[in-house]
Amino acid sequence: MASKDSSIFTPVRIGPVTLRNRVIRSAAFENMAYGNKPPQDLKDYHVAVARGGVGMPPLAYASVNRSGLSFDGQLWMREEIVPALKEITDAVHAQGAKASIQLGHCGNMTHRSTCGCMPVGASGGFNVYSPTFVRALREDEIEGLVEDFGHSVGLARQAGFDCVEIHAGHGYLISQFLSPYSNRRHDRFGGSLENRMRFMRMVIRRVMEAAGDDMGVLVKMNMYDGFRRGMQRVECLEVARELERLGVHAIVLSAGFVSKAPMQVMRGAMPLRTLAHYMDFRKFWWLKAFVRLFGRIVIPTVPYKDAYFLDDAVEFRKALSLPLVYVGGMVSRSSIEKVLDAGFEAVQMARALVRDTDFVNKLRSGEVERSGCRHSNYCIGRMYSLQMKCNS
């Protein structure tokens, strides 16, 4: 089969939105939103990815309010940035791709110096990741957060986005409510899985209402948290079934917990010297030394292989009817086709598109069969302090 005739390059429908092909950029954090606004760099990158052939290049991890910001280079959804976002969606549409934005809240994975307040989460305590003390959200604050998600979807509509992707995985706020590791509440939002899903359920209902009949809604969720006290596959399957009942248009299947099991998400080894080198010495002088000395213990290597989530994702495919988007180790035509042949409607990729924004077009033309990404994860180690960049 010629590359251009592959199933990769057939259209796919996500709710009311039809993509030109089955490749979506994974909403990997760009760290390009200087001052929490979308500058030219962010626009240039996403236009390049759209020109490079993907069906949809989501902007990564826009916070629904200021308390949800974990980085200075992260988007913060508010009225004043809508015109600049509209410039990006118009430019992406001009390249024949659909436009999407990932919306979320980091919960406890931030610091007062970034989010402007004491960080909040499902439960209180001390977060070593930041490091900082965290307070539990009050019940009366939760309704406001739910409305922030709905308002952000409305802003995304004004900015011309075709889809939104809600981040409910990786140990961010919705995931913090879902996981028994991070949710130690004794009210109606804690305890049983039914209670732990309550915040997610409220958010998704509000998002679906705001999305209406013409915006696609995807949700990124965990298939497992990646450690003993976290969520396991059985509970995550119930979460997925609940999302299907709530009417979301597609689920993006991932795994891992950024503050506890980060390499479950990305696989391979974290380049610790790179990570420490780019940390802001004024803020993290002690953390730089800690990472150099103990980083391999705290962030252990998880072996990489192509399509590394596929065995787990197939179990979700068997249990669900709605469209599923596979992410994890998509760097070759053969692995993408293997995933699509297993019944997944689309795939997401990130590192291959950090290395080469034209990767999808080159797959289609037959110029390449596999990305040149060597999975050094330099882009991951660097992006938490500077904008992402490939070093493969």
Cα four-point dihedral sign 177, 199, 109, 385 = positive
DSSP per-residue string spanning 21-90: SSEEE--------GGGS--HHHHHHHHHHHHTT-SB-PEEEEESSGGG---TTS-B--GGGHHHHHHHHH
Burial 295-326 (b: 16+ CB within 10 A, else e): beeebeebebebbbbbebbbebbeebebbbbb
35 contacts 72 by C-beta, under 8 angstroms: yes
Sheet with 125-127: strands ordered across: 120-121, 132-136, 125-127
**Helices 310-319 & 233-246 angle (0-180, nearest 10):** 50
Residue 384 appears among annotated catalytic residues: no
Angle between helices 198-211 and 139-158 (to 10 degrees): 30
Helix%, strand%, coil% for the chain, nearest 5: 45, 15, 40
Give the CA angle between residues 382, 384, 389 to the nearest 5°.
Answer: 35
Report the C-alpha gap between 58 and 92 in whole angstroms. Answer: 10
What is the rounded distance in angstroms from the CA atom of residue 21 to the CA atom of residue 52? Answer: 12
Kindly compute the dihedral angle of the four CA atoms of residues 138, 144, 145, 147, in this order, to the nearest 10 degrees.
160
Which one from 45, 61, 172, 181 is the annotated catalytic residue? 172
User: What's the rounded Cα separation, in Å, for the pair 128 and 338?
Assistant: 39
> Cis before residue 16, ω within 30 degrees of 0?
no
Token pair listed for 203: 């958010």
End-to-end CA distance of the chain: 29
**Rounded CA separation 381/363 (Å):** 27
Residues with catalytic annotation? Answer: 172
